[in-house]
Amino acid sequence: MSIKSKFVIGLVILATVSLFVGIWALAAAPLAPPPSPPTGNNSPHIDPHWTFPTIDPINHAPDGPDYAPLIAGMRPSVVSVITEVSVSSGLFGRRIRDAAGSGIVIDADGYIVTNNHVIEDALSITVELHDGRAFAADLVGGDPTCDLAVIKIDASDLSPALWGDSGSLAVGNVVLAMGNALGGGIVATKGIVSRLDVTLSVEGVALFGLIQTDAAINPGNSGGPLVNMAGEVVGINSVKIVAPQVEGVGFAISSDQARLIIPDLIRHGRAICPWLGVGLVTVDRRLAADEDLPVERGALIVEVVSDSPADIAGLRAGDIIISFAEQEIHDVPELVQAIRTSNVGDEVEIVFVRNEETRVTSAQLIERPDP
């Protein structure tokens, strides 16, 4: 091998060793952190004299109405109602749990209206006021057929709610729903009147004259007020439809209906309702075709209570009532509503169809007997 070749090989070996040593040195040496920006007292942007700048307010009207004064005015009249109820817990028998609802102060003496289902079967009832005071409440009276109840507390400095006329409502009116939603204290939600004079069957009980609203009504809202923009109670929140495909469908008992029932609950401990004494089924086209009935509307009598006004008037099972007190009857809810809006002792004319013959009779309504 020539001297020149040996020299070149030596340079390659030296370069290779140098490169290896360089790589090892880089791997073994710690990496230096990148320089960080100055912080704390070292920051060039520190200004010990800085304050919020003064900016002139924009002078324009708010984007929408301010509901705060209305809610603040209603707040003292809305209460939380907490009950203790006994529930079945499977293998562990029965246990006591708390349930939440709402109520409306209706006079300065401590009378409060709520839903019957809020206090039904309650072992104890407690009312919490807006100022944090809590009182044990006594049940004055309740009626499941209209889902209303009145309770009473021994308290002073109460603020009764202003009662409004639900008959003046129109679809589209803005309303607020207030109550002890989810048991977390009194809250308010906003919506509109979606429908009026709704009939709804709830656990076998027909409720009439309901106000439908899309204002959010949640568990605990029951018994709280539906309020118009004048700060008046126009309804008592009662029912919400809960289903995966349903949203914003709640119902309130109208204030006009409640005003008819509340005095009876306070004076008698129950609702004084007129009674005819019949079991009924609505007649429609399908039923008329299936049963070969002579008419396609009305209320078919399926039962007559012995010695009831209907029995004394000569009505019997199979008759179809098509008119009551000069009101045309198309279905059972219309007949029940016509009876409820009559008075105990009224003599009412009843037009009915028996077989294919239209007949007329009269009945004197009496007070509904206790269940």
- The one catalytic residue in 102, 166, 194, 222 is 222
- On whether both 261 and 279 belong to a single domain, the answer is no
- On whether both 130 and 195 belong to a single domain, the answer is no
Which residues span the domain enclosing 342? Answer: 274-367
The predicted structure's pLDDT at residue 4: 45
CATH of the domain at 116: 2.40.10.10
- Beta-carbon contacts of 110 under 8 Å, excluding residues fewer than 6 positions away, are 152, 153, 154, 155, 158
- On whether both 262 and 295 belong to a single domain, the answer is no
- How buried is 150 (Cβ within 10 angstroms: 0-12 exposed, 13-18 middle, 19+ buried)? buried
Provide block-wise average pLDDT over 10 residues at a time, the chain (371 residues): 45 42 43 57 76 73 79 96 83 79 95 95 94 95 92 93 94 96 91 91 79 90 95 92 70 93 93 92 93 94 95 96 95 88 94 95 91 62
- The span from the CA of 212 to the CA of 249, in Å, is 7
Q: What are residue 327's DSSP bridge partners?
A: 324
- The one catalytic residue in 77, 80, 102, 117 is 117
Show which of 244, 268, 292 is a domain's final residue. 268
Number of domains in the chain: 3
- Annotated active-site residue 60? The verdict is no
- On whether both 141 and 178 belong to a single domain, the answer is no
- Annotated active-site residue 222? The verdict is yes
- The one catalytic residue in 147, 214, 264, 319 is 147
- The span from the CA of 149 to the CA of 140, in Å, is 8
Q: Kindly state whether residue 67 falls inside one of the protein's structural domains.
A: no
